[in-house]
A and B are shown apart, each in its own frame.
Chain A
Amino acid sequence: MRGSPKPVVIAMAVAAAVTIAACSSSGSSSSGNTGGGSSASSSSGAKVTLTWWHNGNTQPLEGVWQSVANAYHAAHPNVSFSIDPIQSDLFKTKMPIALKSNNPPDIYQQWGGGQEVDHFKTGKLFNLTPLVSSWVSELGSAAAGWQVNGQQYGLPYDQHVVGFWYRKDLFAKAGITSTPTTLADLESDDTKLKSHGIVPMALGGGSQWPDAFFWEYFAVRECSTSVLQQSIKAINMTAPCFSQATKDLSAFMATNPFQPAFNGTQAQQGAGSSAGLVANGKAAMELQGDWETAVVPSLTTDKNIISELGWFPFPSVPGGAGTPSTVLGGGDGFSCTTAAPEPACADFLQYVDSTPVQEKLVTQANIGLPANTQAESVLTNPALKAAVQAHDGGYVAEYFDIAFPQAPGLALDAALANFFAGKGSNSTIVNSVSSSSGH
């Protein structure tokens, strides 16, 4: 559920999670209103109001979205906004009802993948393809996660990538001079760290999603891209490479790389969480998304923590059919519904993906990696730059729980969490997505 960590990230990054429902359209206006707004009809047409449900219910994202709307309204006086910031988890219950009604929001938070397919089947998603085809290629492969049957039913505004975040000081202490590139390197580094009394890896097993990253990465390394794509589409993981991933994971877990009692450790809550262990030097690394840089500073008093953190991609696995440059990732985006006034809605999404707005999201809202690669130049954190390079340099396999429809996706997460807690086997993992309800 990358939908879940994101708001937590933002909430953690900004200690004061005060929701300010200031929806005045005359507030601060952004200087970045040069992008988007290319459609003449949207700036001169009849007055319309876009109802917008986004998950930025905490600062700074809430304020940034408000200023983005204000700036767009200033450039297109006929387009006003009615904004509803909603906590991520609530979309699960709100969207089925909204998409059944005759009055769904015009724009709403969309994580793409299998969930978007569920939404698409209601017939209430607007096909953006004709309106965005002229510029969507600028987003590169990022936009593909928001396509259904090759058509663009949503667009991302940011990207995420999962990899190892490590503490340079602890690596140096253990005499590790370069980051591992193969699984054998990683395991030997684990041994070095342990011999210096350092816990190699922190894992937030209690949250029941970070542990899935390990198995998914082994699967991404073992399976070829085409097998991955077919398996996701068919909601079927019986290909042998998935079972091989379970074997790899079992062997890796047997090396005991994690902190004691990792099954009860939360991912992001407090200094005792997995992110907190890395933040406070109690563990050397963590396999996490790029939101780690937003979470970690709030969990420690160390002011220099960000410069202490480095990033490296999941190492290659010997004999795997997967491309070593493939990364696991995802992102956040928006869909327009059929109720939305067009072309205003599509035009606004173009504006959101324009370079100035994307830069603003990166610098002011800590979104991680922008969807528009041109905005990457404003990233200053070297670890994030390394992550973005890996992201842009390889195929991005979407986290499996988002790529699959919601029910099988979460069944897989649950099966993997159980596996980490010593319950279940390879067959419970690979069959979790195909059994109708997975219980």
Chain B
Amino acid sequence: MARTNSAVAAGPETISGPAATSARPPAQRRRLRKRIELTVLLGPPLVLFVGFVIVPMIFAAWYSFYNWNGFGPLNDFVGVQNYQGVFSGPVFRESLLHNVIIAVLSVVIQLPISIALALLLNRRMRGRTVLRLVVFAPYVLSEATAAVMWLLLLQPGGFVDALLKGVGLGGLVHAWLASTSLVLYTLFAVITWKFIGFGIVLLLAGLQGIPPELREAAAIDGATPWEVTRRVVLPLLGPTIRIWIFLAVIGSLQLFDIVWIMTTGGPADSSQTMLTYLFFNGVQRTQFGYGATVSVVLFAVSFVFALAYQRFALRRDTAGAVTRAVG
């Protein structure tokens, strides 16, 4: 009994022991678990991000102060001469302007078309799936394939010209890729064809998120279909539109593949973008120091835009999710 008693007497202690530690250690364990989770989940992407984004950026910034053709050591320090070259050279300014033109045209032309088509494809109608597929198909093609295809279609006397003549619009035939005043807009048309499907899918997803009750309520209150779209649907589509604009502008600033394959930036630099300029001057001409300078400038332009856009346009959409820690 004594044993039992003592055991019983000891009981509460032995029981209270673990009970007391179970109040604190789980918190520790949670912290430990959180740490492990963070390490396991964030570690690899962080390593990749630092290794493939941050470190190359630091290297690019470093190279940008040297005149370097890739061979031999970095020993020809030229200070900010490369930057002076970039900003004083008319071709870079033209390239930047072309990027801006494409970005503005994207927002002014692609966005309304995307919204209109998304609204159309969101309705219940015969052949909707097929139409959605057709509109999205160009986006699935690789940019290189699309560029080569359009390059062949747009040759003088090629398919596009023959088609225009065939339908009696021969007067519209132009030197699509050879005219210095037209080439950028030809490229914009190809870019629109290629990327509009992405915008539409994004907007369709946004439309799916708008509860039908809201439209119905507006309709019952006497709103016309246009008013429903204008006052209910579009405002609720706002976050999606703002994200689309962000992606379209960043995409326009980084335009390369289609332009390089179709025109190499020509004729006479009239379709040069910042990236084709970088590739030609940096890689093709093996002026890696100068190319690095262009990449730093391009990075700065994109970064400033991204920050400003986050700050002024996306703040509402991302509040609580990105800009502030939840809880």
Contact = CB atoms under 8 A, between A and B. Distances in A.
A, B assembled together: yes
Interface of A: 92-93, 95-97, 99-100, 118-119, 121-122, 205-208, 259-266, 269-270, 272-273, 282, 405-407, 410-411, 414, 417-418, 420-424, 436-439
A420 B269 CA distance: 12
Given A206-B263, A422-B268, A122 B72 contact: yes
Nearest to B157: A272
B284 A205 contact: no
A100 B72 CA distance: 7
Contact of A269 (B69, B148, B286): B148
Given A208-B266, A272-B156, A99 B71 contact: yes
B97 to A, nearest CB: 15
B269 A263 contact: no
B66 interface: no
Nearest to A409: B285
B263 to A, nearest CB: 7
Contact of B69 (A118, A422, A438): A118
Contacts of A406: 69, 284-286
A265 B155 contact: yes
Contacts of A411: 285
B148 to A, nearest CB: 7
B269 A418 contact: yes
A345 B270 CA distance: 47
A192 to B, nearest CB: 23
Which of A99, A208, A439 has the most C-beta atoms of chain B within 10 angstroms of its own C-beta? A439
Contact of B156 (A93, A260, A424): A260
Interface residues of B, number: 41
Interface of B: 67, 69-72, 85-86, 89, 91-92, 148, 151-152, 154-158, 175-180, 183, 263-264, 266-270, 280-281, 283-288, 290
A377 to B, nearest CB: 38
Nearest to A405: B69
Shortest Cβ-Cβ A-B pairs, 5 listed:
A272-B155, A96-B70, A264-B178, A264-B177, A421-B268
B264 A208 contact: yes
Contacts of B267: 205-206, 263-264, 417-418, 420-421
Nearest to B159: A272
B317 to A, nearest CB: 40
A379 to B, nearest CB: 32
A270 B155 contact: yes
Given A206-B177, A422-B268, A439-B85, 18 more contacts: A96-B71, A97-B70, A118-B71, A206-B267, A260-B175, A261-B175, A261-B179, A263-B179, A264-B175, A264-B179, A407-B286, A407-B287, A410-B280, A410-B285, A414-B280, A417-B267, A421-B180, A437-B281
Contacts of B287: 407, 437
Contacts of B284: 92, 406, 410
Contacts of B156: 259-261, 264-265, 272
